[in-house]
Amino acid sequence: MRRPRTRASARTTGTTPEEGPGVRLQKFMASAGVASRREAERLIQAGRVEVNSRVVTTLGTRIDPWRDRVRVDGRAVQESGRRVYYLLHKPRGFITTASDPEGRPTVLDLLQGVRERIFPVGRLDWNSEGLLLLTHDGDLAYRLTHPANHVPKTYRVKVKGLVGPASLEAIRRGLFLDGRRSLPAEVRRISSQSNSWLEVTLYEGQKNQIRRTFERLGHPVLKLRRIAIGPLTDRTLRPGEFRGLTEEEVRRLKERR
């Protein structure tokens, strides 16, 4: 689907100074449920955000939520007071985005009956399955995905061949991927026959990190399922099923720093 285009008479860096009153534009967009703060920054830099009919492309722009009018792709943005949180068991064969220009099915296609405009927090690749959080609470999404917070995510992984002690120790220490050493991870063997089942907990979110790690070690991933996001886990959800989070689950997520 082609992105809607908007016209504006001029571009600007914002309606209020960088250190002036108001809130940062990307934070306002995240609070309104448009996208995570990081994705909001990309929308701003792409020229898809208007403030008072003027395109804004500079990060750090501050606005007055009561006075300034914000639009994204021509649609008005209003801050929402109610927050919703859903836990989905993503099946394989779905892309973890709100929309896809190639027309592939997305995780939002699975959330039938959900009226709020929500977005996935983090990613699971096309061939992976497992737990995925979706919300329009941009501040929480930012905290859960920011690299400095090291939110643990746990996976069940089936890899080709028998993984030896040296490979397991390399994962625990961290190994170089694209010139940068990954953070130490937790890994334990679940079973081994002709292939190996392992449980891996990561504290960072490099792209396709588990697949690239085991490929580097000579054990290509055959199956990958995420079973926990920080304190969130649910072994009863089947692929394609979802549920709202409990108040206690939301509280525990927000307590993470």
Q: Which CATH number fits domain 152-229: 1.20.1420.30, 3.40.50.920, 3.30.70.1560, 3.40.50.300?
A: 3.30.70.1560
Token pair in block for residue 65 = 């939520």
Domain with CATH 3.30.70.580 in the chain: 85-147+232-255
User: Tell me: the pLDDT tens digits for 198-241?
Assistant: 999 999 988 899 999 999 999 999 999 999 999 999 999 999 99
Q: How many whole angstroms separate alpha carbon 110 and alpha carbon 101? A: 18
Domain with CATH 3.10.290.10 in the chain: 11-76
Q: Which top CATH class is 11-76?
A: alpha beta
Token pair in block for residue 40 = 């909001």
Domain with CATH 3.30.70.1560 in the chain: 152-229
- Contacts of residues 163-169 at CB distance under 8 Å and 24 or more positions apart, as own/partner, are 163/189, 163/192, 163/196, 163/198, 163/214, 163/217, 163/219, 167/217, 167/218, 167/219
Identify the pLDDT of residue 21: 65
Residue type, 234: D
Nearest 5°: phi and psi at 169? -65, -35
**Pair type for strands 180-181 and 186-192:** unpaired
Cβ atoms of 57 and 11 within 8 Å: the answer is yes
Identify the pLDDT of residue 68: 85
Q: Is 187 exposed, middle or buried (0-12, 13-18, 19+ CB in 10 A)?
A: buried
Identify the pLDDT of residue 217: 97
CATH of domain 85-147+232-255: 3.30.70.580
User: Tell me: the pLDDT tens digits for 46-73?
Assistant: 999 999 999 999 998 999 876 788 999 9
Token pair in block for residue 126 = 């096309």
User: Which of 64, 73, 100, 125 is labelled catalytic?
Assistant: 125
The residue ranges of the chain whose pLDDT is under 50 are 1-18
Identify the pLDDT of residue 17: 43
Active site residue 125: yes
